Amino acid sequence: MPLITVSGLPSSGKTTRALQLKAGLERKIAEVNSDLTVYLINDESLSISKETYRELHSEKATRGAQISAVKRHLGKNTIVIFDNLSYIKGFRYQLFCEAKALSTNACLVHVGAPKDMCVAWNKSRPEGEAWPEDLFDALVFRYEEPNPMSRWDSPLFPIAHEDTEADIPIDEIWDTLVLRKPKPPNAATVLKPVTAGNYLTELDKITTSVVNEIIDLHKTSPGGLVKLDAYDPVVQLPMRLTVASLNRIRRNFVTINKMKPIEVSRIRPHFIEFAIKNLSADM
């Protein structure tokens, strides 16, 4: 089901508006007796630190985690609200393409507030929750304001800082996302199925890479809580671990998934879960 991307300057009130959107849509769902649910995704729910926006490498990993979360929750019975800066038009285009590839509608909600008001609101936030001043200025400078003439920024619903919760156009958003028939995906947005040969190559390459990462982490943190990558879940390594046991688990996983292929994007998280579960069972 549909995707709502919330965009705006840092400390412009995006999360407040996202929560109001969620509440308004849930009231609409109850009113029409629909079985839809509304799911809110933001950096807090993904445990993403503001500091990840300082460096290109860490921000790239952050965007990967955000896109993965959106794709994971977009479903036929779910409206996803993605509450984020979404300050780069290329990132908004990527979100637009993800929705279109699933033949579902999408819209953009732009939370508008003057920079000086955002500065004041940021300074009033509790210690540890405010954006550092230099990072705040950098993000404001890089912000690419939505353009309703661009198809990835349309339909665009602006919400001004002086608007009340009652001013949010819930009925219009509902009509756009739920009642309007979605356009068919373009050839460019349709996910191409992998061939059998490519799938087996990816299956082998990804599982081997995970095995090597686990071995390297175990050398420095046996029995510790670790993250294999920026957007992998936290896992606990066993105290004792051998290369032979890991390779045996990898071969079992490959054998199972040769017979019943899964999406390439799901191989890594599924194998991590499979490996840790089986390592724990062996101890």
C-alpha–C-alpha distance, residues 76 and 36, integer Å: 8
Query: Which domains, and CATH codes, for the chain?
Result: 3-189 (3.40.50.300), 196-282 (no CATH)
More confident: 242 or 115: 115
pLDDT at 151: 87
Distance CA 175, CA 114 (A): 29
Q: What is the pLDDT of residues 202-228, one digit of tens each?
A: 899 999 988 888 888 888 877 777 767
238 close to 223: Cβ distance less than 8 angstroms: yes
Instruction: Give pTM, 2 decimals.
Output: 0.66
* Helix, strand or coil, per DSSP, at residue 201: helix
pLDDT 10s digits, 238-274: 778 888 888 998 998 888 888 777 788 888 888 888 8
With bands split at pLDDT 50, 70 and 90, how would you rate the model's confidence at 113? very high
H-only helix segments in the chain? 14-32, 56-73, 89-101, 115-123, 133-142, 170-174, 196-220, 243-259, 264-282
Which range has the top average pLDDT, 25-39, 48-62, 233-247?
25-39
User: What percentage of the chain has pLDDT greater than the value 90?
Assistant: 40
Helix axes 243-259, 196-220, angle to 10 degrees: 160
Q: Of 226, 223, 228, which is closest to residue 238 (Cα–Cα)? A: 223
Q: Are 11 and 45 in contact (CB under 8 A)?
A: no
User: Which residue's structure tokens are 């510790």?
Assistant: 224
- Which amino acid is residue 37, in one-letter code? T
Sign of the CA dihedral 127, 128, 134, 136? negative
> Is 253 in contact with 207 (CB distance < 8 Å)?
yes
The percent of residues above 70 in pLDDT, for the chain, comes to 91
Please state the separation of Cα 155 from the chain's center in Å: 21
pLDDT tens digits for range 59-108: 888 888 888 889 888 877 899 999 998 888 888 988 988 888 888 899 99
Q: Helix, strand, coil % (nearest 5) of the chain? A: 55, 15, 35
Residue with tokens 């920024």: 153
CA distance 177 to 277: 40
Question: CA quadruple 254, 258, 260, 264: dihedral positive or negative?
Answer: positive
Q: Is the pLDDT of residue 188 over 50?
A: no
Please tell me the distance from the alpha carbon of residue 65 to that of residue 58, in angstroms, as a whole number: 11
Q: What is the mean pLDDT of residues 184-195?
A: 52
